Amino acid sequence: MPHDWLAFAKSLRAIAQTGQTYTDNKYELERYRQLEALTNQMFAVLGDVPIEKIEQLIIPDKGYATPKVDVRGAVFDEAGRVLLVREIKDGRWTLPGGWADVNESPSEGVLKEIFEESGHRASSPRLAMLKDRSLHPYAYYSPDHIYKLFYVCTHEGGAFVPNNETDAADFFARDALPPLSEGRTLTVDIHECWAFAASNAPGIYSD
């Protein structure tokens, strides 16, 4: 059975972060900082990328190490097409979304992300599913442990507004999806949101 070196590196990074938070010994603090630097080197080797890129990817964090939360919104028009946005970074399409913010519920956050990235307004977010990113085949690895929350929302209208993250927004039919930014959204994510929307399930309370 192959070893999951990425999971090992994530665990070591969590130990280093938590250790820096709770130790009051300056020698232990230095060792935890060294461990953190070593885990960055491990991520660079595992991803075959320069360590500088790893350091840019890692979200600065302090305190007890916990997973990050990514919220994504599936908005469907009257024809049943899904709203996608095109990422400037890779030129591919994804469900609008991003990191959950402090002092904001996930459902509030997803509505904000939809508007900021697409220019379209949405309402009535229903939590369709929660995924542990590490257990699914997203295109690139992340040094962070991430939970992905997918919401199905009601379309309230709007039009694309230029912004610094996306350069287009459009609706797509189920059998005509564009090339996806698979580090953010997989085809199966969209299909599962479609199925949830069709079921008229009430969703899971998430505030």
- Using one digit for the tens of pLDDT, what is the confidence trace for 30-57? 988 898 888 888 888 887 878 777 766 6
* 72 and 125 share one domain: yes
Nearest CA-CA partner of 73 in 82, 65, 81: 82
Q: What is the pLDDT of residues 125-137, one digit of tens each?
A: 999 999 999 999 9
Mark whether 50 and 76 lie in a shared domain: no
Q: How many CB atoms lie within 10 A of CB 21?
A: 14
Q: What is the pLDDT of residue 205?
A: 64
Q: Do 12 and 88 belong to one domain?
A: no
Are residues 128 and 91 part of one domain? Answer: yes
Distance in angstroms (rounded) separating the CA atoms of residues 197 and 60: 36
My answer on whether 110 and 26 are in the same domain is no
Overall number of domains in the chain:
2
pLDDT for 19: 85
96 and 120 both lie in a single domain: yes
Q: Do the beta carbons of residue 138 and residue 145 sit within 8 Å?
A: no
Same domain, 193 and 107: yes
Same domain, 40 and 122: no
76-112 pLDDT, tens digit each: 999 999 999 999 999 999 999 999 987 889 999 999 9
Residue 195 in any domain: the answer is yes
Q: Are residues 96 and 121 both part of a single domain?
A: yes
Degrees, nearest 5: CA angle 166-172-175: 135
Which residues span the domain enclosing 93? 68-199
Helix (H, G, I), strand (E, B) or coil at 174: coil
Residues 25 and 98 in one domain: no
How confident is the model over 61-86, as a mean pLDDT? 89
